[in-house]
Amino acid sequence: MVETRVCVVGAGAVGGVIGGRLARAGVPVSALARGATVEALRTHGWRVDDDSAPVAAADADAAALGPHDVVIIAVKAHHLPALAPALTPLLTPSTVLIPALNGVPWWFFHDFGGALEGTVLAATDPDGAVTAALPPSQVLGCVVHLAARQAGPGHARLTAGDELIIGEPSGRPSERATRTAELLRSAGFRITVSDAIQREVWYKLWGNMTMNPISALTTATADLILDDPLVNAFIQRVMTEAAALGALIGAPITESTEDRIAVTRRLGAFKTSMLQDAEAGRPIELDALVTAVREIGDRLAIPTPHLDALLGLTRLAARQRGLYP
Ligand SMILES: NC(=O)C1=CN([C@@H]2O[C@H](COP(=O)(O)OP(=O)(O)OC[C@H]3O[C@@H](n4cnc5c(N)ncnc54)[C@H](OP(=O)(O)O)[C@@H]3O)[C@@H](O)[C@H]2O)C=CC1
Ligand SMILES: CC(C)(CO)C(=O)C(=O)O
* 84 and 227 assigned to the same domain: no
> What residues line ligand 1, using a CB cutoff of 6 Å?
10-15, 32-35, 37, 60, 74-77, 79, 83, 100-102, 144, 146-148, 150, 273, 285
Start-to-end C-alpha separation, the chain: 48
CATH number, position 14: 3.40.50.720
Q: Give the residue, by CA position, lying nearest to ligand 1 atom 27.
A: 10
Q: What span, in angstroms and rounded, lies between the C-alpha atoms of 69 and 53? A: 20
Q: What pLDDT score was predicted for residue 69?
A: 98
Distance from the alpha carbon of residue 1 to the mean position of ligand 1, in angstroms: 32
Q: What pLDDT score was predicted for residue 1?
A: 52
> What residues line ligand 2, using a CB cutoff of 6 Å?
102, 145, 147, 208, 212, 272-273
Apex CA 11: angle with CA 316 and CA 120, to 5°? Answer: 55
Total structural domains in the chain? Answer: 2
Q: What pLDDT score was predicted for residue 10?
A: 98
Query: How confident is the model over 14-66, as pLDDT tens digits?
Result: 999 999 999 999 999 999 999 999 999 999 999 999 999 999 999 999 999 99
* 203 and 190 assigned to the same domain: no
Closest atom of ligand 2 relative to the 264 alpha carbon:
1
Q: What pLDDT score was predicted for residue 70?
A: 98
Tell me whether residue 231 is in a domain: yes
Q: Give the residue, by CA position, lying nearest to ligand 2 atom 4.
A: 147
Q: What span, in angstroms and rounded, lies between the C-alpha atoms of 161 and 147? A: 6
Distance from the alpha carbon of residue 94 to the mean position of ligand 2, in angstroms: 30
* 91 and 215 assigned to the same domain: no
* 257 and 294 assigned to the same domain: yes
Helix (H) / strand (E) element for 146: namely strand 141-152
* 143 and 230 assigned to the same domain: no
Question: Which sign does the torsion angle of CA 247, 251, 257, 259 carry?
Answer: positive
Q: Domain boundary residue among 161, 194, 227?
A: 194
* 85 and 221 assigned to the same domain: no
* Residue from 145, 204, 212, 271 whose mutation best tests the ligand 2 pocket (most atoms within 8 A of CB): 212
Closest atom of ligand 2 relative to the 148 alpha carbon:
3
Ligand nearest to the CA of 76: 1
Residue 199 half-sphere exposure toward CB, CA atoms < 13 A: 14
Tell me whether residue 177 is in a domain: yes
List the chain pLDDT tens, one digit each, 325 residues.
578 999 999 999 999 999 999 999 999 999 999 999 999 999 999 999 999 999 999 999 999 999 999 999 999 999 999 999 999 999 999 999 999 999 999 999 999 999 999 999 999 999 999 999 999 999 999 999 999 999 999 999 999 899 999 999 999 999 999 999 999 999 999 999 999 999 999 999 999 999 999 999 999 999 999 999 999 999 999 999 999 999 999 999 999 999 999 999 998 899 999 999 999 999 999 999 999 999 999 999 999 999 999 999 999 999 999 999 9
Ligand nearest to the CA of 82: 1
Say how many residues make up the chain: 325
Distance from the alpha carbon of residue 54 to the mean position of ligand 2, in angstroms: 27
Q: What span, in angstroms and rounded, lies between the C-alpha atoms of 197 and 251? A: 9
Q: Is 73 helix (H, G, I), strand (E, B) or coil?
A: strand
If one counts every other C-beta atom within 10 angstroms of the C-beta of residue 148, the result is 24
* 114 and 205 assigned to the same domain: no
Q: Give the residue, by CA position, lying nearest to ligand 1 atom 24.
A: 10
Tell me whether residue 204 is in a domain: yes
* 80 and 119 assigned to the same domain: yes
* 149 and 22 assigned to the same domain: yes
Q: Note whether 294 and 121 are within 8 A (CB).
A: no
* 207 and 184 assigned to the same domain: no
Q: What pLDDT score was predicted for residue 116?
A: 98
Report ipTM (2 d.p.): 0.97
Distance from the alpha carbon of residue 216 to the mean position of ligand 2, in angstroms: 13
* Residue from 39, 75, 211 whose mutation best tests the ligand 1 pocket (most atoms within 8 A of CB): 75
Tell me whether residue 325 is in a domain: no
Q: What span, in angstroms and rounded, lies between the C-alpha atoms of 4 and 1? A: 9
* 211 and 287 assigned to the same domain: yes
Q: What pLDDT score was predicted for residue 86?
A: 98
| DSSP code of residue 142 | E
Q: Domain boundary residue among 194, 226, 253?
A: 194
Closest atom of ligand 2 relative to the 207 alpha carbon:
1
Closest atom of ligand 2 relative to the 275 alpha carbon:
9
* 209 and 151 assigned to the same domain: no
Q: What span, in angstroms and rounded, lies between the C-alpha atoms of 174 and 135? A: 17
Structural domain span for residue 121: 6-194
Q: Note whether 164 and 142 are within 8 A (CB).
A: yes
Tell me whether residue 1 is in a domain: no
Distance from the alpha carbon of residue 248 to the mean position of ligand 1, in angstroms: 31
If one counts every other C-beta atom within 10 angstroms of the C-beta of residue 322, the result is 9
Q: Which residue type sits at 116?
A: L
Question: Please, which residues bridge with residue 51 across strands?
Answer: 48
CATH number, position 275: 1.10.1040.10
Q: Give the residue, by CA position, lying nearest to ligand 1 atom 45.
A: 102
Q: Domain boundary residue among 194, 209, 241?
A: 194
Active site residues: 204
Distance from the alpha carbon of residue 78 to the mean position of ligand 1, in angstroms: 10
Distance from the alpha carbon of residue 79 to the mean position of ligand 2, in angstroms: 18
Q: What span, in angstroms and rounded, lies between the C-alpha atoms of 251 and 200? A: 8
